[in-house]
Amino acid sequence: MTTTKPLAIEARNLTKSYGDKVVLAGIDIAVPEGTVYSLLGPNGAGKTTTVQILSTLIQAGGGEAFVGGHHVTRDADEVRSAIGVTGQFAAVDTLLTGRENLQLMGRLHHLGKQETKRRTEELLERFDLVDAAKQTPATYSGGMKRRLDIAMCLMGNPRIIFLDEPTTGLDPRSRRTMWAIIRELVKGGTTIFLTTQYLEEADELADRIAVLDGGKLVAEGTPEQLKRMIPGGHISLRLHRADQVERAAQVLAASGSDIDQLTVQVPSDGSVDSLRKVLDTLDREGVEVEELTIHTPDLDDVFLSLTGQTTTAA
C-alpha cells in the first residue's frame, strides 16, 4: 500500500474466531494519519471485535496489526498511550460523578493536579456537562453518558481515537453535535476509527469507508467510490418536445424514456465526466435540456446490495 502519509492504523489479514465461529475472516485495514476511517456493517458483522483487537482489549487469532506504529500485542503499552477508546457501551464509573470520572482519567494519565483540573473543566464545558458534573451517570440520559464517555477518552489527548458506534441511540440533534465534535478532532490532526451502522454517518464523516459483512471486508473506498460501485445510477433529463425525446433516447442509448412526460433516463455513474459527455452529445444534436437530475445510488443502496440484505430491512 503506497500512501503519502504514514499509517496510523494498519492491519494485515486479521482473523478472530470464538470456538467454531469465525468472526473475522482475514481483514486488511490501512488508515493514514489524520483521516477518518469508517467501518460499516450490520449487527454481528465483527465491528466491535475489530475495535477490540486494535485497541488491545483482545488478541487476534491471526494476522498483524499496528496502531501508531506499534504492534498491538508486542507493544500493547505504547499503543495504549497513543489511543483513546469509546466503546459501544458506556465505559464510565457509575459510582463517581461526571467530574470525578474525568479527574480519574486525568490522574491515570499522570497529567498533574493543575492540568487535570483545567482539562476537566474545559471538557465539562465543551461537552455541555457542567450542570451534570456533580451527578453520577446513573442520572444521565443516553446522550449525556455518551458525551461523558467521549470526554473521558479525550482527557489524555490521544492521537488515535476508536469510536464504536458513537451515535447509536442518540437523537438527530445529539448526533449532529457528535459529528461536529468528531470533525473538530480531525481538524486538530487526530486519526479517527469509527464504526457505525448508519451510512449517512459514514458518508458525512469518513475519508474512507470499509463495509464489513460476515467477518470480511466486502468493499472499501471513498464514499463516492462506493456509491459508484453498484449499478442503478442514472441521469434523468426533461426535454421540451416529443421528437427531441426520441432523438435523445437514440443518441444516448437511453435506458428508458417517456414521451408524455418528455423525460429520458440515461445510465450513469454520476461522475462529472459522464455528465459532460451526455450534455456535449445533446449539444451537438441541438437538443435543449429543460431540467436535469442525477440519481446516484445512495449508500443505503450500496450497503444493502453489498451485504446481501433485502431492501425491506432498511
Partner 1 sequence: MSTLGYALTDTSTMLRRQLKHMQRYPSLTVMLIGMPVVFLLLFVFVFGGTLGDGLGGMTGGRDAYLAYVTPGMLMITIAGVVQGTAIGVAMDMTQGIIDRFRTMSIARVSVLTGHVLGSMIQSFLGIAVVLGVAVALGFRPEADALDWLGLVGVIALISFGLIWLTVALGITAKSVESASNSPMFLMILPFLGSAFVPTDSMPTALQYFADYQPFTPFIEVTRSLLAGTAVEGKDLALTVAWSLALALLGYVVAKKNFNKR
Ligand X SMILES: Nc1ncnc2c1ncn2[C@@H]1O[C@H](COP(=O)(O)OP(=O)(O)OP(=O)(O)O)[C@@H](O)[C@H]1O
Residues that bind ligand X (CB under 6 A): 18, 21, 23, 41, 43-49, 88, 197
Q: Which of 89, 130, 251, 309 binds partner 1 (CB under 8 A)?
A: 89
Burial 85-100 (b: 16+ CB within 10 A, else e): bbbeebebeeeebbbe
CB of 14 to ligand X, least distance (A): 12
Show Cβ contacts of residue 114 under 8 Å, excluding neighbours closer than 6 positions.
none
- Residues counted in the chain: 314
Stretch that binds Mg ion, among 83-91, 154-162, 171-179, 211-219 (CB under 5 A): 83-91
Residues 20-79 interacting with Mg ion (rule: CB under 5 A) = 47-48
Stretch that binds partner 1, among 12-20, 97-105, 244-252, 278-286 (CB under 8 A): 97-105
Stretch that binds partner 1, among 25-33, 81-89, 220-228, 286-294 (CB under 8 A): 81-89
87 binds, among partner 1, Mg ion, ligand X, none (CB under 5 to 8 A by kind): partner 1
88 contributes a contact to Mg ion by CB under 5 A: yes
Residue where the block lists cell 486538530: 188
Among 93, 98, 232, 84, residue whose Cα is nearest residue 160: 84
187 binds, among partner 1, Mg ion, ligand X, none (CB under 5 to 8 A by kind): none
DSSP state of 303: H
85 binds, among ligand X, Mg ion, partner 1, none (CB under 5 to 8 A by kind): partner 1
Q: Which is nearer to Mg ion, 163 or 252 (CB)?
A: 163
For residues 119, 110, 86 and 90, what is the CA-based torsion angle, rounded to 10 degrees? -90
Q: Which is nearer to partner 1, 77 or 260 (CB)?
A: 77
Helix (H, G, I), strand (E, B) or coil at 200: helix
Task: Decide: 127 and 182 in contact? Cβ < 8 Å.
Answer: no
Q: Which of 107, 113, 176, 241 binds partner 1 (CB under 8 A)?
A: 107
Stretch that binds partner 1, among 27-35, 102-110, 119-127, 244-252 (CB under 8 A): 102-110
Q: Which is nearer to ligand X, 49 or 167 (CB)?
A: 49
**From CA 144, how far away is CA 98, in angstroms rounded?**
10
Q: Which of 28, 33, 64, 100 binds partner 1 (CB under 8 A)?
A: 100
Kindly report the number of other CB atoms within 10 A of residue 83's CB atom.
Answer: 25
Task: Decide: 68 and 160 in contact? Cβ < 8 Å.
Answer: yes
Q: How far is CA 6 from CA 32, 48, 299, 314, in A?
A: 6, 25, 28, 37
43 binds, among partner 1, Mg ion, ligand X, none (CB under 5 to 8 A by kind): ligand X
Q: Which of 38, 55, 257, 263 binds partner 1 (CB under 8 A)?
A: 55
Q: Which is nearer to Mg ion, 47 or 99 (CB)?
A: 47
CB of 93 to partner 1, least distance (A): 4
At position 148, the amino acid (one-letter code) is L
**From CA 309, how far away is CA 95, in angstroms rounded?**
42
Residues 142-171 interacting with partner 1 (rule: CB under 8 A) = 152-153, 156
Helix (H, G, I), strand (E, B) or coil at 16: strand
Residues in contact with Mg ion by CB under 5 A are 47-48, 88
